[in-house]
Amino acid sequence: MKEVGFLNGQVDAALTRQGHMDLLMVVDAGFPVPDHVELIDIALKADTPSVPEVLAELCKVHSVEKLVLAEETRRHNPGYFEKVTTRFWEDAELEVIPHTELKLRSHEVKTIIRTGDFTAWANIMLVSGAGDRWKLEVPPEG
């Protein structure tokens, strides 16, 4: 019996399928998920789990090189924006785009995890990274 890491088998399997630069989203309860994108709905009740709760677990096991959030998140929920962009994957690049563009880009995502979060514009796109396990004999220039 699995007792560590993600206990939700669908989330665990989705993470295993993520490769470098693949896209994964964690979204609020009302995000319009495209029909062709895998949806893992873990909403239990209002605000449970929240997007930050899911991110806290994801960051333990998933390498991310870039976070993509909506400008509306920064403008309307600045405290929330600060929390999700500084608490998890602190070395990740940050891209801020209009919410309408985030919804368009959601069509390119492998998997969307829907939470019970009722924070407006709580949606976040994660660009999977290579992590720090990869070996180099000679570091890249730059």
The C-alpha atoms of residue 142 and residue 138 are separated, in whole angstroms, by 12
pLDDT at 46: 97
pLDDT at 142: 63
- Going edge to edge, which strands form the sheet with 93-97? 38-41, 111-114, 23-27, 124-128, 64-70, 93-97
- Plot region of 131 (φ>0 → left; ψ -120 to 50 → alpha; else → beta): left
The question of whether 20 is a catalytic residue gets the answer yes
Taken in order 120, 86, 24, 117, the sign of the CA dihedral is: negative
Give the list of residues 6+ apart from residue 89 with CB closer than 8 angstroms, or none: 59, 64, 67, 126
* pTM of structure: 0.93
Superfamily name with CATH number, domain 18-128: RbsD-like domain (3.40.1650.10)
Compute the half-sphere exposure of residue 120: CA atoms within 13 Å on the CB side of its CA. 8
pLDDT at 99: 98
pLDDT at 68: 98
Q: Which of these is catalytic: 20, 76, 99, 107?
A: 20
pLDDT, tens digit, 9 for 90 and up, residues 78-112: 999 999 999 999 899 999 999 999 999 999 999 99
pLDDT, tens digit, 9 for 90 and up, residues 127-141: 999 877 888 788 888
pLDDT at 58: 96
Can you read off the two tokens belonging to residue 99?
A: 């919410």
Residue ranges of the domains in the chain?
18-128
pLDDT, tens digit, 9 for 90 and up, residues 112-128: 999 999 999 999 999 99
